[in-house]
């Protein structure tokens, strides 16, 4: 009898230890950093030590692709909605409502984003949307976000600082911070110019602020950071079919992510939402077409 009781007690201890270990292995936080107009072509020659450290210690591709047209709203929508414009219906650079009726809408009245999945499946979870360009707002359900920050004409550094503060103080399960550069420089001066590369250095400093915030919040061992873009650019524009416009960087770093690994899988921007859903343990809706970037995971 004594031996049986000892075995039962030992089993209980092991189960508790296994449960604690399993919890420690979970990803509880995802930070998505979106850099507007950041063409993958710019990464190799850019002075971006923070991004390149994430690549060295994470998984990355410089051959991920936007949807067509290679413009803003249609791609930001696809990135968080897990599907392309044929299904979600946002087709223009500045779409605020679907030009084509969405193939499916959720209880919030929009094609489902990863924010609404989180709200419906984990209602107590905190989410944060910090966006530099006003066009992001209509693409994400207001009722599905806990924290939303947008101030007209605020400098890009404001959004980096604000996102850092929110991460440290609120530790959201999902944070999406949008930087409206280097797109402005691409339009005003041009892609592949010295000014464009100078701006990428500024973008990198903002990425560094976000990474440090995760570290200072004490949640890095439970977090995955994803850095990507809506589109690249050519000359002073975008929206076309050249690789400079279509190819975007896709970098993942953190819990359960391979290190110094170039991803060989094909990636399209709506795979980002699917990857976030997988990381946070969310069930994806049938209407989504994205698939998690499996080659990024250990």
On the question of pLDDT at 16 being above 60, the answer is no
pLDDT, mean of residues 243-251: 98
Tell me if 278 is assigned to some domain. Answer: yes
Tell me if 15 is assigned to some domain. Answer: no
Supply the CATH number for residue 254's domain.
3.40.720.10
On the question of pLDDT at 14 being above 50, the answer is no
C-alpha closest to that of 229 among 190, 297, 183, 289 = 183
On the question of pLDDT at 42 being above 60, the answer is yes
Range of the domain at 92: 27-296
Tell me if 11 is assigned to some domain. Answer: no
On the question of pLDDT at 1 being above 70, the answer is no
Is residue 9 very low, low, confident or very high in pLDDT (cuts 50, 70, 90)?
very low
Q: Provide the sign of the torsion angle of the four alpha carbons 176, 182, 186, 189, taken in this order.
A: positive
CB 74 within 8 A of CB 90: yes
Contacts for 278 with CB less than 8 Å, ≥ 6 apart: 292
Q: Which pLDDT belongs to residue 22? A: 38
Tell me if 201 is assigned to some domain. Answer: yes
Instruction: Residue count of the chain, please give it.
Output: 298
Whole-number Å distance between alpha carbons of 56 and 66: 23
pLDDT, mean of residues 180-185: 96
Number of structural domains in the chain: 1
Tell me if 63 is assigned to some domain. Answer: yes
Give the model confidence (pLDDT) of 70-128 as tens digits.
999 999 999 999 999 999 999 999 999 999 999 999 999 999 999 999 999 999 999 99
On the question of pLDDT at 24 being above 60, the answer is no
On the question of pLDDT at 6 being above 80, the answer is no
Q: Which pLDDT belongs to residue 3? A: 52
pLDDT above 90 as % of the chain: 91
Tell me if 16 is assigned to some domain. Answer: no
On the question of pLDDT at 135 being above 60, the answer is yes
pLDDT above 70 as % of the chain: 92
Is residue 153 very low, low, confident or very high in pLDDT (cuts 50, 70, 90)?
confident
Whole-number Å distance between alpha carbons of 140 and 153: 20
On the question of pLDDT at 235 being above 60, the answer is yes
C-alpha closest to that of 88 among 119, 113, 107, 65 = 113
Tell me if 5 is assigned to some domain. Answer: no
Tell me if 19 is assigned to some domain. Answer: no
Q: Which pLDDT belongs to residue 12? A: 44
Average pLDDT of the chain, as a whole number = 93
């Amino acid at each position: 009898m004594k031996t049986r009781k000892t075995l039962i007690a030992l089993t209980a201890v092991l189960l508790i230890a296994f449960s604690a270990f399993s919890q420690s292995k979970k990803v509880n936080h995802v930070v998505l950093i979106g850099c507007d107009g950041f063409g993958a072509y710019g990464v190799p020659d850019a002075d971006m030590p923070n991004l390149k450290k994430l690549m060295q210690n994470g998984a990355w591709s410089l051959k991920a692709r936007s949807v067509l047209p290679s413009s803003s709203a249609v791609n930001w929508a696809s990135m968080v909605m897990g599907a392309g414009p044929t299904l979600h219906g946002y087709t223009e650079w500045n779409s605020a409502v679907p030009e084509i009726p969405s193939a499916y809408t959720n209880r919030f009245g929009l094609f489902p984003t990863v924010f609404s999945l989180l709200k419906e499946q984990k209602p107590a979870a905190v989410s944060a949307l910090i966006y530099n360009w006003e066009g992001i707002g209509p693409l994400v359900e207001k009722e599905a976000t806990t924290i939303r920050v947008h101030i007209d004409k605020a400098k890009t550094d404001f959004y980096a600082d604000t996102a850092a503060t929110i991460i440290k103080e609120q530790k959201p399960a999902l944070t999406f911070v949008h930087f409206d550069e280097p797109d402005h420089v691409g339009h005003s001066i041009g892609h592949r110019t010295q000014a464009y590369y100078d701006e990428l250095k500024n973008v990198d400093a903002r990425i560094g602020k976000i990474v440090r915030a995760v570290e200072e919040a004490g949640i890095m061992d439970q977090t995955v950071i994803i850095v990507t873009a809506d589109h690249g650019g050519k000359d002073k524009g975008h929206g076309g079919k050249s690789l400079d416009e279509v190819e975007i960087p896709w970098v993942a770093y953190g819990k359960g992510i391979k290190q110094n690994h170039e991803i060989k899988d094909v990636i399209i921007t709506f795979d980002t939402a699917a990857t976030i859903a997988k990381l946070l343990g969310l069930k994806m809706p049938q209407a989504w077409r994205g698939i998690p970037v499996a080659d990024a995971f250990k």
